[in-house]
Structure 1
Amino acid sequence: MPSLYDYRLFISHAWKYGDDYNRLISLLNNAPYFNYYNYSAPKEKPLFPYGTPMTNSKIRELISNKIRPSQITIVFAGMYAAYSDWIKYEIDESVRMNKPILAIQPWGQQRFPSYVTQNADKIVGWNTSSIVFAIRELAR
């Protein structure tokens, strides 16, 4: 059997709301016939090692370096995204770099931040096949 294609994903997230991120990683890891490389910064491997000084310009640079090699940016369309300057920066950088944006609707949420919906190329619910299909469709 030929090897599967590895999709290069940048998953935007806020550690305060890490359950959505962890659930998505689990979903993608268990998706049949789907391989990916995760360019986001997991909690176990943060952008900055402990004790390293963080400046906004350095954080922006490191986030941009994570987005650059990805094919697609995935954003959770939770209302917390409306209040995160870093998630907005990740969306802006993805748009600037011409990366398609996939938004995932949180369970049971009726309202979505307009900034996410205005910039998303596609919005899907929490369904493995919908998410994987959208990634395959949007990835270049």
Structure 2
Amino acid sequence: MPSLFTYRLFISHSWRYSEPYNKMMEFLRAAPNFSFSNYSVPEGDGFGRMSIPQLKDELRGQIRPVHVAVIIGGMWTSYSDWIQFEIEFAKSINKPILGIRPWGASMTPAAITAAADEIVGWNTDSMVSAIRRLAR
């Protein structure tokens, strides 16, 4: 059996609202016939004490090599300068953006609606299918 293609993903998240991120990681890890590498830094592996320009350089380095930037569309994203920076940088280097509407949410923040190449609901099959489409 041939090996699976490994999708390189940057999965944006707010460490203050890490539950949706953690749940999405569980979904993606459990998806059959799907392999991915997460280029974003998880909560426990933070950058430490860095200046804002240094943090921006780190984020650019995480986003540059990915196939798709994934943004979980909770309302907290409207108030996060970092998530806005990630969206703007991904767009500036033509990385496709996948917006994920969290489970039970009826709205997606305007910044994500405007930037996303595709928005899907809180469903593993929808997420995986969209990643495959956008990574082409």
On whether the aligned pair clears a TM of 0.5, the verdict is yes
Contiguous gaps of at least 5 residues in structure 1: none
Q: Does 1:68 align with 2:92?
A: no
AA aligned opposite 1:63: L
Query: Aligned to 2:43, what secondary structure does the other structure show?
Result: coil
SS class of match (2:66) = coil
Partner of 2:119, secondary structure, is strand
Name the CA distance, whole Å, in 1 between partners of 2:21 and 2:121: 14
* SS state at 2:129 partner: helix
Aligned partner of 1:88 in structure 2 is: 84
RMSD, matched Cα: 0.8
Identity of counterpart residues, as a percentage? 47
Are 2:20 and 1:20 equivalent residues in the alignment? yes
Alpha-carbon distance in 1 for matches of 2:108, 2:101: 8
- 1:38 corresponding residue in structure 2: 38
Deviation at 1:44, TM superposition (A): 2.5
CA distance in 2, matches of 1:105, 1:74: 11
| Higher helix fraction (1 or 2) | 2
Unaligned runs of 5+ in 2: none
Cα distance in 1 for partners of 2:64, 2:74 equals 24
**Alpha-carbon separation, structure 2, partners of 1:43 and 1:81:** 17
Q: Distance in 1 between matches of 2:111 and 2:29?
A: 28
1:98 aligns with 2:94: yes
Structure 1 residues 111-139: Cα deviation after superposition (integer angstroms, max 9, x where no partner) = 22111100000000011110000000001
Q: Decide which of 103, 109, 126 is 2:105's aligned counterpart.
A: 109
Runs of 4+ in 1 over 2 A off after TM superposition: none
Partner SS, residue 90 of structure 2: helix
Q: Which residue of 1 aligns with 2:53?
A: 57
* Secondary structure, aligned partner of 2:44: coil
Instruction: Give the structure-1-normalised TM-score.
Output: 0.94
What is the TM-score with the length of structure 2 in the denominator? 0.97
- Cα distance in 1 for partners of 2:103, 2:129 equals 19
Asked whether the equivalents of residues 97 and 116 of structure 2 are also in contact (C-alpha less than 8 Å), the reply is yes
Hey, what's the Cα distance between the residues in 2 that align with 1:10 and 1:73? 5
